[in-house]
């Protein structure tokens, strides 16, 4: 009887069993491909692209592992087709529009004010009227939002409706809060010293921000350090004004932006896929060392990982639900992306391309979205207009970053070919491979990360590659098309066409797409577990939990243990400018700091020194002689700070003016090495000194 039941079961579920077998084979094959890639990456000739074809059989190139991955992806798609897993659709829900006439008064006033601001920004000096331009631009955006709200007859949701909604979604709300708070905790933990140490670019963010808030620098409608709009430094300036000139104040802005990116990923994946995919993707991003690292570093590159999912979420929401308010705020955020880190400008381009593809794919419904297209376009122009007016007359500021780092600039490409001996195709291929393989197989040296490992742990790399194969298979679906261009555009424009790949700091926009594609792969595998059999349905949930838990443990263990203790981020010069704050900042305006260092290192040009102690006068002191000491001003205390190689000069100072306060600071992760020696002399001692 049992044999008959078994035979009947296999007969009735033959197709599902074959599909499951293919699935297991594809996963095993993908794991083999990952092993081959990881092993090959250790070979000293791994990056010799011109001999890859010759060395294919010896597994010293990425081609063998990638080909195995390709076969695994093909079998994975076959398994899905064989098992006839139900494919969900993503179709727009057309809404009916109000029949009341538009209120053109606010529209005209808003657009007119925006045009005037844009024109004046392009023909006058923003240094003289920066505050006025900023206020006028902000007012035009506000008026446009009000006009749309009036047009749609928006009303404030009552407290009872909010309570009802919260009760219905209470578990999901609590779950999302838990994920977001966990992500915040992981980004705030050890914030002051992880990564260590505080780098000069962070000092620039802090210095420009505090200068802006204090009214000492060109106001909002001007570019500052690295040709970034001054608005990029405003959050850091506000944070420093509240928390003081500390490392935490600068880095907290990135913590908050990185945490919001986790929420944006959940909202995007929830809107276009399902709660399970959204949960997995947001958890993976919260635990991802790559994103965690840049969520702690006080530079504004992290904005990329928030702008992209936020814009895409709102645009897909507008496409799916016909929501006017969604596309309105998508347009505003797209316009705001031109006021921050230059790379963030790619986010609205990706969003427009993804939404445009969806509209073209459903071209018969294009007429039904004319209203959304108009609202988005006007919101973008009204918001971005003032800064675009500035860039119109300062094109060098707009293109400064790509001009400085792009490999296609005059002579850069030729020099690269001459130095490496590679052809043009080989140079581009190598750039692309270095930019993309860092996600699954190779290390991430330099470029603000210095990680000895790839972005993804091996178990996630396998499911990411399977998810990538499924994304390519579903490319006709606007969701998957958006994911595909989102991921690859960040890699191509952020790293492939720039110098020194992989440029981790410029590929951050890909990190949300990375975890969403990985989540898609995991969810597709879980669908092979039949839902109508309780134990198998439970097994699917256990499978997802195990993968997320194991990979999460590996990520936490790596970043907070191996990476932190190994101090891969270290730089002695940055350590010096960071740790000297302990002795320079307390001086305030009651003392002067003198650096006794090597003339070849321009320490005083490093923004960190001035950020931590902005009111302390600083200068170099290279020659310790009685005459030089006697010539120093005597109205303030004098603090001499020497690098480790100049300890003899401190001894000379102590011999000439004894009784000073001497301090020796050792390197944090190299306690046997001296970082600097300081010697503080009071003004009374200086006044009484006679050579």
471 and 585, same domain (yes or no) = no
More confident residue, 216 or 537: 216
Token code pair at residue 419:
């130095």
Q: Hey, how many other C-beta atoms are within 10 angstroms of the C-beta on 691?
A: 10
Question: Which pLDDT score, from 0 to 100, does residue 434 have?
Answer: 94
What pLDDT score does 630 carry? Answer: 87
- Residue 395, φ and ψ in degrees, nearest 5: -60, -25
Long-range contacts of 240-248 (CB under 8 A, 24+ apart): 240/206, 240/209, 240/210, 240/213, 241/210, 241/213, 245/206, 245/210, 245/585, 245/611, 245/612, 245/613, 245/614, 246/192, 246/612, 247/191, 247/192, 247/198, 247/202, 247/298, 247/578, 248/191, 248/192
Query: Could you tell me the pTM of the whole model?
Result: 0.92
Same domain for 543 and 660? no
Do the domain assignments include residue 10? no
Q: Is residue 260 part of a domain?
A: yes
How large is the average pLDDT for residues 146-155? 76
Domain final residue, candidates 525, 550, 566: 566
**Contact partners, residue 298, CB within 8 Å, separation at least 6:** 198, 201, 202, 205, 206, 236, 247, 250, 251, 253, 254
User: Is position 193 within any domain?
Assistant: no
Domain identity same for 315 and 229:
yes
pLDDT at 499: 82
486 with 509: CB under 8 angstroms? yes
Quick one: 493 and 347 in the same domain? yes
Per the structure, the complete domain to which residue 630 belongs is given by 572-688
Based on the fold, state whether residues 517 and 578 are members of the same structural domain. no
Of residues 138 and 593, more confidently modeled: 593
Same domain as 385, residue 251: yes
Alpha helices in 632-682 (DSSP H): 647-656
Asked if pLDDT for residue 533 goes beyond 70, the answer is no
For residue 229, list its beta bridge partners: 223
Tens digits of residue pLDDT in 26-54:
999 999 999 999 999 999 989 988 888 88
User: What is the predicted pLDDT for the residue at 224?
Assistant: 76
pLDDT band at 148 (very low <50, low <70, confident <90, very high): confident
Alpha-carbon dihedral 379, 383, 389, 394, rounded to 10 degrees: -120
Q: Which one is predicted more confidently, 230 or 244?
A: 244
- What's the pLDDT score for residue 364? 64
| One domain for residues 523 and 504 | yes
Q: Tell me the two tokens of residue 92.
A: 């727009």
What per-residue confidence (pLDDT) applies to 75? 95
Domain boundary among 566, 590, 616: 566
For residue 215, give both structure tokens.
Answer: 């009214």
- For residue 190, is it within any domain? no
What's the chain's average pLDDT?
A: 86
- Residue 397 burial (C-beta neighbours within 10 Å; 0-12, 13-18, 19+): middle
Average pLDDT over residues 475-497: 93
261 phi-psi bin (left φ>0, alpha ψ -120 to 50, beta other): alpha
Q: What is the pLDDT of residue 165?
A: 80
Residue 560, number of CB atoms within 10 A of its CB: 16
DSSP 98: P
The whole-angstrom separation of Cα 640 and Cα 626 is 15
| Residues 311-368: tens digit of each pLDDT | 999 999 988 888 889 999 999 999 999 999 988 999 999 999 998 887 777 666 666 7
Residue 227 φ then ψ, to 5°:
60, 30
Residue 97 lies in a domain: no
pLDDT computed for residue 13 by the predictor = 54
Averaged pLDDT for residues 125-152: 70
Please give the order of strands across the beta sheet that includes 661-666. Answer: 617-620, 591-596, 637-643, 674-681, 661-666
Give the CA dihedral 638, 643, 649, 650, nearest 10 degrees.
50
Assess contact for 206 and 298: CB atoms under 8 A. yes
**Beta bridge partners of residue 619, listed in sequence order:** 594
- Return the pLDDT at 677: 95
As a whole number, mean pLDDT of residues 597-618 equals: 90
- Within 10 angstroms of residue 167's Cβ, the number of other Cβ atoms is 9
Distances (CA, A) of 617 to 573, 640, 687: 20, 12, 19
C-alpha 306 chain-centroid distance: 7
Give percent above pLDDT 70 in the chain.
85
Q: What is the DSSP string of 182-246?
A: HHHHHHHTTTTTSSSS--HHHHHHHHHHHHHHTT-S--SSSB-GGG-BGGGGHHHHHHHHHH-SS
**Cα–Cα distance, 495 to 506 (Å, whole number):** 6
175 and 62, same structural domain? no
Residue 93, in any domain of the structure: no
CA distances to 64, 427, 554 from 58, rounded to whole Å, are 9, 23, 30
Residues 548 and 577 grouped into a single domain: no
Mean per-residue pLDDT, 464-470: 97
Provide the pLDDT for residue 681.
93
Torsion of CA 119, 123, 124, 126, to 10 degrees: 60
Residue 15 confidence class, pLDDT cut points 50, 70, 90: low
Tokens of 232: 């990029």
Convert the pLDDT of each residue in 572-583 to its tens digit: 899 999 999 999
Residue 96 has pLDDT above 80, yes or no: no
Q: Among 515, 547, 566, which residue terminates a domain?
A: 566
Q: What is the mean pLDDT of residues 168-197?
A: 94
What is the rounded distance in angstroms from the CA atom of residue 623 to the CA atom of residue 518? 60
State the helix-helix crossing angle for 510-526 and 303-321, rounded to 10 degrees: 60
- Cβ neighbors of 319 (< 8 A, separation 6 or more) are 92, 355, 358, 359, 369, 372, 478
The β-bridge partners of 406 are 498
Q: What proportion of the chain, given as a percentage, has pLDDT over 90?
A: 55
Condensed to tens digits (0 to 9), the pLDDT of residues 244-275 reads: 999 999 999 999 999 999 999 999 999 999 99
User: What pLDDT was estimated at residue 142?
Assistant: 78
Are residues 557 and 579 located together in one domain of the fold?
Answer: no
Determine the 3-state secondary structure of 45 from DSSP. coil
- Reduced to 3 states (helix: H, G, I; strand: E, B; else coil), residue 638 is strand
Alpha helix (H) residue ranges in 492-606: 510-526, 534-557, 564-566, 572-579, 581-584
Same domain, 389 and 488: yes
The answer, yes or no, to whether residue 9 has pLDDT greater than 50, is no
Overall number of domains in the chain:
3
Element (H, E) at 664: strand 661-666
Tokens (6 digits) for 16:
């599902």
Q: What is the distance between the alpha carbons of residues 187 and 18, in angstroms, rounded to a whole number?
A: 44
Strand partners, 328: none
Considering the domain boundaries, does residue 192 fall inside one? no
> What pLDDT band is residue 666 in, cutting at 50, 70 and 90?
very high
Q: Band the pLDDT of 113: cuts 50, 70, 90.
A: low
Tens of pLDDT along 385-437?
888 878 877 777 777 777 777 777 666 666 667 666 777 788 888 999 999 99
CATH number for the domain harbouring residue 640 = 3.40.1010
Say if residue 223's pLDDT is above 90: no
Residues forming beta bridges with residue 681, ordered by sequence position: 638
What pLDDT does residue 107 have? Answer: 62
Strand partners, 666: 674
Residue 137 sits in the same domain as residue 152: yes
Range 154-179 average pLDDT: 85
Distance separating alpha carbons of residues 440 and 429, to the nearest angstrom: 17
Residue 95 within any structural domain of the chain: no
The 3-state DSSP class for residue 270 equals helix
Confidence at residue 163, expressed as pLDDT on a 0 to 100 scale: 82
Asked if residues 386 and 221 have their Cβ atoms less than 8 Å apart, the reply is: yes
The model's confidence at residue 375, banded by pLDDT at 50, 70 and 90, is confident
């Amino acid at each position: 009887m049992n044999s008959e039941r078994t035979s009947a079961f296999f007969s009735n579920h033959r197709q599902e069993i074959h599909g499951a077998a293919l699935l297991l084979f594809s996963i095993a094959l993908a794991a083999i491909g990952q092993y081959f890639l990881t092993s090959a990456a250790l070979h000293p000739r791994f990056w010799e692209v011109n001999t890859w074809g010759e060395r294919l059989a010896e597994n010293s190139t990425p081609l063998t592992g990638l080909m195995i991955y390709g076969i695994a992806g093909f079998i994975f798609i076959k398994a899905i087709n064989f098992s006839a897993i139900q494919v969900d659709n993503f179709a727009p829900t057309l809404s009916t529009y109000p029949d009341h006439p538009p209120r053109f008064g606010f529209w005209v006033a808003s657009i007119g004010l925006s045009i005037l601001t844009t024109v004046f920004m392009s023909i006058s000096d923003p240094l003289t009227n920066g505050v006025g331009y900023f206020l006028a631009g902000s007012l035009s955006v506000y008026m446009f939002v009000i006009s749309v709200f009036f047009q749609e007859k928006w009303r404030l949701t009552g407290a009872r409706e909010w309570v009802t909604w919260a009760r219905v979604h209470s578990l999901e709300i609590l779950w999302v809060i838990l994920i977001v708070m966990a992500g915040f905790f992981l980004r705030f933990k050890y914030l002051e010293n992880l990564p260590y140490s505080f780098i000069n670019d962070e000092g620039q963010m802090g210095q420009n921000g505090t200068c802006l808030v204090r009214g000492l620098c060109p106001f909002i409608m001007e570019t500052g350090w690295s040709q970034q709009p001054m608005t990029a430094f405003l959050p850091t300036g506000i944070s420093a004004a509240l928390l003081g000139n500390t490392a935490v104040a600068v880095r907290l802005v990135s913590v908050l932006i990185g945490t919001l990116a986790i929420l944006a990923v959940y909202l995007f994946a929830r809107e276009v896929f399902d709660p399970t995919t959204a949960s997995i993707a947001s958890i993976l991003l919260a635990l991802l060392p790559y994103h965690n690292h840049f969520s702690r570093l006080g530079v504004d590159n992290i904005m990329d990982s928030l702008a992209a999912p936020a814009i895409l979420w709102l645009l897909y929401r507008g496409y799916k639900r016909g929501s006017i308010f969604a596309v309105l705020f998508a347009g505003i955020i797209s316009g705001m992306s031109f006021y921050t880190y230059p790379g963030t400008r790619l986010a609205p381009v990706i969003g427009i391309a993804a939404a445009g593809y969806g509209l073209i794919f459903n071209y018969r419904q294009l007429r039904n979205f004319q209203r959304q297209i108009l609202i988005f376009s006007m919101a973008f122009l009204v918001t971005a207009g003032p800064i675009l007016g500035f860039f119109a007359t300062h094109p060098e500021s707009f293109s400064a970053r790509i001009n400085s780092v792009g490999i296609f600039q005059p002579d850069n490409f030729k020099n690269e070919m001459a130095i490496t001996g590679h052809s043009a195709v080989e140079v581009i291929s190598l750039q692309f491979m270095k930019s993309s393989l860092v996600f699954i197989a190779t290390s991430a040296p330099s470029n603000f990360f210095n990680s000895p490992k790839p972005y993804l742990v091996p178990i996630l790399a396998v499911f990411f590659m399977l998810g990538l194969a499924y994304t390519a298979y579903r490319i006709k679906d606007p969701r998957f098309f958006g994911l595909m261009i989102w991921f690859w555009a960040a890699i191509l424009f952020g790293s492939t066409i720039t110098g020194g790949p992989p440029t981790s700091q410029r590929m951050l926009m890909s990190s949300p797409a990375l975890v969403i594609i990985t989540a898609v792969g995991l969810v597709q595998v879980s669908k092979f577990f039949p839902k109508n059999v309780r134990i198998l349905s439970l097994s699917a949930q256990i499978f997802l939990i195990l993968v997320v838990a194991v990979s999460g443990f590996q990520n936490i263990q790596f970043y907070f243990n191996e990476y932190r203790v190994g101090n891969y981020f270290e730089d002695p010069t940055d350590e010096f400018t960071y740790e000297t704050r302990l002795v320079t900042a307390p001086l305030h305006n009651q003392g002067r700091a003198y650096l006794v260092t090597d003339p070849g290192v321009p320490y005083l040009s490093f923004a960190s020194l001035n950020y931590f102690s902005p009111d302390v006068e600083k200068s170099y002191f290279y020659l310790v002689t009685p005459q030089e000491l006697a010539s120093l001003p005597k109205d303030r205390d004098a603090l001499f700070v020497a690098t480790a190689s100049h300890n003899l000069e401190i001894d000379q100072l102590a011999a000439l003016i004894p009784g000073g306060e001497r301090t020796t600071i050792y390197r944090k992760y190299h306690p046997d090495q001296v970082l600097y020696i300081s010697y503080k002399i009071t003004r009374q001692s200086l006044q009484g000194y006679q050579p």
